[in-house]
Chains A and B, each alone.
Chain A
Amino acid sequence: MSGLRILVPVKRVIDYAVKPRVNKAQTGVETNVKHSMNPFDELSIEEAVRMRERKLPVEDILAFSAGPAKSQDILRTAMAMGADRGIHVVEEKTDLEPLSVAKLLQKVVEEEKRNLVILGKQSIDDDANQTGQMLAGLLNWPQATQASKVEIDGESVTVTREVDGGVETLKAKLPMIITTDLRLNEPRYASLPNIMKAKKKPLEKKTLGDYGLDGEKRLKTVKVEEPKARQGGGKVEDVDGMIAKLKELGAL
């Protein structure tokens, strides 16, 4: 069989533990806060690295990110976790929409001759849950989204996916697209020696223009607002108090 040439796209997002604040101009959220790799993308890297550790014929693991110069940090993290090299499309001005990212990834897949792309199921900033499916559509490849288990045997890939009410299992042949769900694995921490080694791994810088794309936005942000604040209604003393209050609120 041919080897696995894996592409793992990663995104730099506001750290999951930070509560985002809407900016005064109502154009977005304050970004001068801690950023990290999108949690679902950590799962993608981890899964790719585990494939190699399971002695699957992994030829190489390519990490990819499009975004500001600082996205480099998360590509280094991906390499410290076990990716072999990285490509960084430096884009400072625009937050690329999923469709643009999918088109970009399509070019990367073709240029780099990938046969397996593992993406996170969604990024925790725009919560779109689209890029993997869009890429699968553009490439006309099979897709298995929200994967909680992946088994590869030769060309054949069996994926268990999280669906409403339980799980389902699908089977397809390489090349294919997989998106990760939280239950897939427990991502490792990068050790200091691996972080040091990652600094020496190749990281290629590119631009959207190199791929013949302009990152034009389709959607216009009209405004970004704080959600309606919920007022905590205070506390009750005991269970009877709780039942009485719930009745008063019409919930019982």
Chain B
Amino acid sequence: MVAPLRTSLLRQAGATCLRQQRTTLRPLSRSTLQRLASTLTVLEQRDGKLNMSSLASISAAQKVGGSVHGIVAGSNIKTVAEQASKVEGLEKVIFIENGDYDRGLAENWAPMLIENIKKGGYTHVIAGHSAFGKNLMPRVAALMDVQQISDITEVQSEDTFVRPIYAGNAILTVQSNDNPKIVTVRGTAFPSGAAEGGSASVEEGTDPKAACPTEWISEDLAKSDRPELASAEKVVSGGRGLKSKEEFDRIMPPLADALGAAIGASRAAVDSGFADNSLQVGQTGKNVAPQLYLCAGISGAIQHLAGMKDSKVIAAINKDADAPIFQVADVGLVGDLFEKVPELTEKLGKA
């Protein structure tokens, strides 16, 4: 019992320090703060390749103002660091060469990240609201005694951020006095930045080599030649109206191919086994904001709309003229998808 008590006392002491720090920061004007701002962006990599969608963090960091650094970790990380150093907007890339970080496990990433945050004295830490960012950042935030701000869609100032709540049915603007401010960003709300033209310095970071109690066993990723759902320019999406996996697989892929689109699905379609869970668009699945979101057999439940209503153009095919999807669709076609979608596919193919 003694050890936990001591840690909680230490934590309290830490909290008091932070609070004092906050009061000293308060009298400073916003522009001074902006000059002092320095952000660490957590960049993702897989098999020695930089994950381009994680670059949205850099665009968000630039809106905060001040200097922007990036951090990457894993095996053969030098190549990734070199790649990242060319990304526009980054001043410095910190790399940690250690295969233990390859699987993005929060248990050893969190202490490593915290060491590097403290060493760099960053005022902001930004990561993508991806599976990796969602898993890792709250652990980091709690250990630093910070209330994280998740899935932001806008940076209003260095301490004020905008994020959707209630499945996107309300938009919350919040202000944080925490230091550092820990934020995850909605990838589709920020441009992913130019991968060329930058010339950041590359520097080795601190590696506390924390033990990881969790062992990574295996993964099973859906293989696809199509564009990645979260960042695709066009998305075609199917729902319960497709009736079966066979029909889903017969109707949707040709339409996707005709448009060069990624394939998405509603939760109903996923739950019924028509499509893989990784294709789910909505509050509990992926958020997409493509140029064109074309959906068939989707009624438009609020949880689904949460994931796609920021699309530039929404087109819907549904046989129910009263389906809620038509209230948000720019182009609606009332009809049987089993006739209309193949006809659309064929005509698009000719065009």
Contacts and interface: CB of A to CB of B under 8 A. Distances in A.
A227 B168 CA distance: 7
A200 interface: no
A245 interface: yes
Contact of B131 (A141, A163, A249): A163
A144 interface: yes
A3 interface: no
B164 interface: yes
B4 A99 contact: no
A134 B138 contact: yes
Contact of A166 (B4, B150, B220, B302): B220
Contacts of A172: 213-215
Given A134-B141, A242-B333, A222 B146 contact: no
Contact of B333 (A128, A170, A235): A235
B176 interface: yes
Interface string A142-156: 111110100000000
Interface in B263-293: 267, 270-271, 276-278, 283-284, 286, 291-292
A128 B148 contact: yes
A124 B283 contact: yes
A57 interface: no
Contact of B139 (A29, A134, A237): A134
Interface stretch (B34-42, B84-92, B196-204, B341-349): B341-349
Contacts of A236: 331-333
Give chain B's interface secondary structure class: mixed
Interface string A126-150: 1111111111111001111110100
B313 A246 contact: yes
A165 B278 contact: yes
Interface in A2-40: 14, 16-17, 19-20, 22, 29
A102 interface: yes
Contacts, number: 254
Given A20-B169, A227-B171, A251-B315, A145 B134 contact: yes
Interface stretch (A75-83, A188-196, A213-221): A213-221
A233 B329 contact: yes
B327 interface: yes
Contacts of A148: 277
A163 B138 CA distance: 16
A93 interface: no
A249 B330 contact: yes
A239 to B, nearest CB: 5
B218 A168 contact: yes
Give chain A's interface secondary structure class: mixed
A110 B315 contact: no
A138 B141 CA distance: 10
Given A29-B166, A158-B217, A168-B218, A129 B142 contact: no
A182 interface: yes
B122 interface: no
A128 B150 contact: yes
A84 to B, nearest CB: 25
B174 interface: yes
Interface string B162-196: 01111111111111111000000000000000000
B6 to A, nearest CB: 13
A226 B169 CA distance: 7
B135 interface: yes
A232 interface: yes
25 contacts: A16-B303, A98-B148, A99-B142, A99-B145, A99-B146, A143-B106, A164-B278, A165-B221, A166-B219, A166-B276, A170-B105, A171-B215, A218-B177, A221-B172, A222-B160, A224-B171, A225-B170, A227-B170, A227-B309, A230-B328, A232-B330, A235-B332, A239-B340, A243-B347, A246-B292
Given A133-B134, A145-B134, A164-B131, 16 more contacts: A127-B167, A129-B151, A130-B150, A164-B278, A166-B220, A166-B221, A182-B267, A217-B147, A219-B147, A220-B174, A221-B173, A233-B329, A233-B331, A235-B332, A238-B333, A252-B292
Interface of B: 4, 103, 105-107, 110, 129-132, 134-143, 145-151, 160, 163-178, 213-222, 228, 230, 234, 259, 267, 270-271, 276-278, 283-284, 286, 291-292, 302-303, 309, 312-315, 317, 321, 326-335, 340, 343-344, 347-348, 351
- Nearest first, the 10 A-B pairs at minimum CB distance are A134-B142, A166-B221, A133-B138, A218-B147, A233-B330, A130-B138, A137-B139, A137-B142, A251-B313, A168-B219
